[in-house]
Every structure is written in structure tokens, then in C-alpha cells.
Amino acid sequence: MSRPWNIGQSKVAKLPWPLDFTKSLLSGVTVSSAVVTHTPPSGGTVTTPSTQIVSPIVYVTVGPLGVTGVHYVDVLATFSDATKDDIRLVIRVDY
């Protein structure tokens, strides 16, 4: 189940957001990969956020975002035991 994480960011910022999957991991299980998808508001351009995994944290760097509005960044993490969990970043860009 997606856990939303609401944040704010400017259009020109390029910020790393640390997403902690600790509560989803069983003992001895680690984050092995992550797929990130950006959905911009109408009129926006899809970007490809970069990721770095330092289990249990997935760092997602987003930006610059180009247009104001609400951007969604979905992170689907796959764990070493083949289970998965996701987090949705809801990024409000006001300026």
C-alpha cells in the first residue's frame, strides 16, 4: 500500500529525499532495487529522478521540475526476499 509523503519544493531545486523502508523490512532483509516514476501536473514534462540505495533508505533526487503544481513521484522498492513496497512523494511546487 502506498504511503504518501507530502513535501514542497521550488521549480529550480534539485533535492534528494530519503525514503525509509525500515518498517517494511523483516529481519535480515534489505532493499535490493527501486523503480521511480514521475507524474507531472498537466503541461509538465516527465523527468527521470535519480536514485541511490543505502538499505533501508532509498534516496530519490527530484528536480528541477519545470512547472508549478502537484508532482507525484512513485517509488517501488523490491526487497532481497522478493517482496515489494511503495512510497508516493506528493511534491507541491508553488514557485
pLDDT digits (tens, 9 = 90+) for 11-66: 999 999 999 999 999 999 999 999 999 999 998 999 999 999 999 999 999 999 98
Who has greater pLDDT, 3 or 59? 59
Q: Which CATH number fits domain 3-93: 3.90.1210.10, 3.40.50.720, 2.170.130.30, 2.60.40.1220?
A: 2.60.40.1220
Which residue in this structure is represented by grid cell 515489494?
84
Show the cell assigned to 3.
504511503
pLDDT score at 3: 66
DSSP for 11-78 reads SS--EEEEEE-GGGPPTT--EEEEEEEEEPPTT------EEEEETTEEEEEE----S-EEEEEEEEEE
Q: In the chain, where are the structural domains located?
A: 3-93
- Most distant CA pair in the chain, distance: 44
